Amino acid sequence: MGGGSVLARSGTHDQTDEAGKPATFWLSISALGIVYGDIGTSPIYALREAIKITSGDAAPSPADIIGALSMVFWALTLVVAIKYALIVLRADNNGEGGTLSIMTLARSAARKRPGLCMVIGMIGASLFFGDAVITPAISVLSAVEGLEVSAPGIAEYIVPITIVILVSLFAVQRFGTGRVSIIFGPFMLLWFAVLGVTGITHLADDPTVLRGLNPLEAGAFMVRHWEIALPMIGLAFLAVTGAEALYVDLGHFGRKPILLAWFGLVFPCLVLNYFGQGAFLLGSGDQVTQPIFEMVRAELRLPMVLLATVATVIASQAVISGAFSLTRQAIQLHLLPRFTWFHTSVSQPGQIYVPQVNWLVMAGVLLLVVGFGSSEAIAAAYGLSVTGEMVVTTVLLSVVMRGKWMWSGLAVAAVIGPLLLVDLTFLTANAMKVRDGGWVSLLIASFVLLVMWTWTRGRTLTKDKTGRAELPLETVIRSLKKSPPQTVPGTAIFLTGDYENAPTSLMHSLKHYKVLHERNFVLMVKTLPRPRVDRDDRVIIDPIDDTFTRLTLNFGYMEDPDVPKALASAKRQGLVFDMMSTSFFVSRRSLRARRGDRLPLWQKRLFIALAKNGDDTTAFFHLPAGRVVEIGAQVVI
């Protein structure tokens, strides 16, 4: 699914209202490549797989074609058009959407057990990473498989060609995608136009295909094949993978452009293509292995394969960028250790590159392609993580409706009940595929969840341990007044995660250097439960006495915590920092594990390994390396 994309410029939804219809139109075009890349490539394999489960290698019956088509159509209508487009998009967190956005919204709205909302959000975020590995594999592989129809002579090289495309895609991530992303929207506009045109030209092959608009046909299809009804539902769900992207990319495009793109182009073109595929199958009466490619004229099949391949690369790019964006959000919310990220665009701060995530996702994608060998096989692994993430969104949405929107319990049940029923049906159907490959997405999600859970619990334990040995800041300041140490010129900034106690770096500085600077700031960097922080709320100054001042820097969970830049903005409040005479004191903890104290020994060791491999404080907060003093302390957890 193409979720969490950072290719579009942050905050563009605010400009939509100011610029009016032209801005909305162009944002809608841009959304085609980012928001709808994944769901737009589903026609390559979705209907094919939904039909194949009943017919195998034989030609499908007309009733099965219409029944499968009806399932696909109503899945698109219920999940995307109704649930996401009309309901979920309204649950924005200051204009932002996505799993972690709705998690922070639900935590603030929850009257009881907000920690449970965090756990549910962590599960949803973990499931996304499972999807981020599977989407590029199945998308690109399914497109390249079109060579079986257009160029049978090189069909045996499908897997190597797919690997070359995917390796190239991941290799260019470090250069950024800003220059090429501007063509994503127009290219996907062409792709959707081709889908619509190829579909409508085949509707005349057998107009009875329109019976698929009747939901009773889907019901009859499931009754007729009741023994495999759940697997069929799971395969029909392939048509809506990518629906979560509507919500994830809300902050990049805004609700109006996303809805305009969906109802104005994407939904009609998808429906036309699916029904065109169905009419083509009904009219041919033969076994068709690649309907989306075989329904075009022979001389156009190779261009169609190339077009589909580029479309799947765009869909994969959106997912990869989404993984980068979600990782940064999780780091800012203290759900993951600090990974290094790089900005790949000067004008678009949302465009980032996270090397560790890039190579881990690439390794997973390549293992899937080599291990499964075909999109049909990977389809068995697809869907479970996506449906799980959809269930998470629905559950957290119910908390927001009740606690923030102040809806009555009856109103929440009336809306959430049917949505949850649909989600759970799809989840149950996809859970049937665990043995056939669904275990892959569960394995990936479980690993990410273990890392998140270990990191959050380890941080809490470490904080408790260090807190026991610390002295209250007020007590230390009173002691310094009674026995003042030697004062040296300049400014000292002591980073801390606890305002109540004196920073460890301050205590060790006094112990070893026995001096105090003229100006001393106890600095806490906070990540607030909203995507961005207004300039007026960035810096909070709280003087303690003539020597010490508490300083708070607030950032949103989608912002880059650039401390020097934030300190420069304090000039508007009369506080000026000369970086050449300012020293940053940072505590560097050396962690050691021992048995006991809430966490098993293996989990403590995993936490310590994560802490060692994470980005250090200096790099994460963009502190000038030549002005940083690191003071070590050993902590036994």
Confidence of residue 95 (pLDDT cuts 50, 70, 90): confident
- Quick one: pLDDT at residue 483? 85
Confidence of residue 6 (pLDDT cuts 50, 70, 90): very low
Whether domain 12-456 has CATH 1.20.1740.10: the reply is: yes
- Quick one: pLDDT at residue 345? 63
pLDDT beyond 70 at 10: no
Distance CA(318)–CA(234), nearest Å, equals 24
Per domain, the residue ranges of the chain are 12-456, 470-636
Structure tokens, 278: 């169905």
Task: Pick from 14-23, 179-188, 518-527, 529-538 the range whose average pLDDT is largest.
Answer: 518-527
* Helix, strand or coil, per DSSP, at residue 583: strand
Confidence of residue 14 (pLDDT cuts 50, 70, 90): very low
pTM over 0.85: no
- What are the tens digits of pLDDT across the range 287-297? 667 889 989 88
- Quick one: pLDDT at residue 217? 92
Mean pLDDT over each residue of the chain, to the nearest integer: 85
Confidence of residue 11 (pLDDT cuts 50, 70, 90): very low
Q: How large is the average pLDDT for residues 508-529?
A: 87
- Quick one: pLDDT at residue 260? 93
Confidence of residue 422 (pLDDT cuts 50, 70, 90): very high
Angle between helix axes 229-236 and 409-431 (nearest 10 degrees) is 100
Structure tokens, 480: 């310094």
Confidence of residue 413 (pLDDT cuts 50, 70, 90): very high
**Residue 543, beta-bridge partner list:** 549
Q: Hey, CA dihedral for 400, 403, 406, 409, is it positive or negative?
A: positive
Distance CA(115)–CA(113), nearest Å, equals 5
- What are the tens digits of pLDDT across the range 551-596? 999 998 878 889 999 998 888 888 888 888 899 998 877 778 888 7
* Residue that the structure tokens 């941080």 belong to: 459
Distance CA(569)–CA(563), nearest Å, equals 10
Determine phi and psi for 585, rounding to 5 degrees.
-105, 120
Secondary structure, 3-state, 63-114 = HHHHHHHHHHHHHHHHHHHHHHHHHHHHCCECCECCHHHHHHHHHHHCCCCH
Question: What one-character DSSP code corresponds to residue 472?
Answer: B
- Quick one: pLDDT at residue 22? 61
- What are the tens digits of pLDDT across the range 318-370? 888 888 888 888 988 889 988 887 777 655 556 778 888 999 999 999 999 99
Confidence of residue 534 (pLDDT cuts 50, 70, 90): confident
- What are the tens digits of pLDDT across the range 194-233? 999 999 999 988 999 999 999 999 999 888 888 888 888 8
DSSP 304-322: HHHHHHHHHHHHHHHHHHH
Could you tell me how far CA 208 lies from the centroid of its own chain? 40
